[in-house]
Amino acid sequence: MDTSGFAEWAGHFEEERERRHAQGDPCWERGATLHPAVWSSVQRFQVGEDGDGANLITKADRAGDPDYARAVRLFVAEERNHARLLAHLLAAGGAPTLTGHWSDRAFVRLRRLMGLRMELLVLMVAEVVALRYYRALRDGSGDPLTSDVAGRILADEERHIPFHCERLHASLAQLPRPLRRPVMALWRLMLLAASLVVAADHGPALRRLGLGRRRFTADVMASSRAAVSAILTPRPAARPTTRPGTRSGTA
């Protein structure tokens, strides 16, 4: 599998880590005020961000590309930072964190069923749903601290999806061509099911954020088209380099 681009991805993640360090945390002391339905929603998303990522790291190590494994570790660190940011946001509003939630347990169990490809497909469902959720939280909360935290997480999620798409593109290229589109069609059905569950479970919060259940689901499904295209679209083959002392087209 050609994974030569993951050294560059690891570099991007490292640059972002340094940028976060230089930026520092939001000002937690200013506190946060949200509707109880939104607090409840943030609590459940915080649980989802709070995994240790050990299973994904193990599968990335087994894939045999050290650059990809390094990039995955940096990705997992960013996800842990999201959980930390959300925990501090909850504390700033006087809301506790949860010890667990059924939706997170279901996602974790599904992700662990098979190999790296299945793990990433399920993870991509959560990432695409989160992309729309954090945009709504950033733009609709009306609370400066919440908007700051959600904006930081959203910026990370916007990088995570292309990262996973690149690996899935290489992974699906190993499948027979007639199977690739059906796999992604099934993935979109899984995404639809997940977005409907989130819309139902977080409906009161979404309404407070100015986003109805139907609009949330429609926006999630619309945003998935770009991910499917990135995974399935053939990439141009690398052009052969000319050895020193030879001319193209000559023996």
Residue 206 tokens, joined: 């979404």
Q: Residue 2's pLDDT is what?
A: 45
Give the pTM: 0.86
| Whether pLDDT at 206 is above 60 | yes
Single-letter amino acid, residue 45: F
Mind listing the pLDDT tens digit for each residue in 27-38? 999 999 999 999
Provide the Cα torsion 116, 119, 125, 130; round to 10°.
-100
Task: Please count the CA atoms within 13 angstroms of the CA of 249 that sit on its side-chain side.
Answer: 0
Q: Residue 1's pLDDT is what?
A: 42
Q: Residue 113's pLDDT is what?
A: 61
How far lies 194's CA from each of 115, 128, 136, 202, in Å? 21, 10, 17, 12
- Pairwise pLDDT comparison (88 vs 50), residue with the higher score: 88
Mind listing the pLDDT tens digit for each residue in 232-249? 998 754 333 333 344 334
What percentage of the chain reaches a pLDDT higher than 70? Answer: 84
Residue 184 tokens, joined: 């992604």
Mind listing the pLDDT tens digit for each residue in 91-124? 999 999 987 555 555 555 655 566 899 889 999 9
**pLDDT confidence bin for 85, thresholds 50/70/90:** very high
**Per-residue b or e along 44-70, where b marks 16 or more CB atoms closer than 10 Å to that residue's CB:** bbbbbbbbebeebeebbeebebebbbb
| Whether pLDDT at 125 is above 90 | yes
What value does the mean pLDDT take over residues 200-204?
95
Residue 70 tokens, joined: 């390094």
Mind listing the pLDDT tens digit for each residue in 42-71? 999 998 886 668 889 999 999 889 999 999
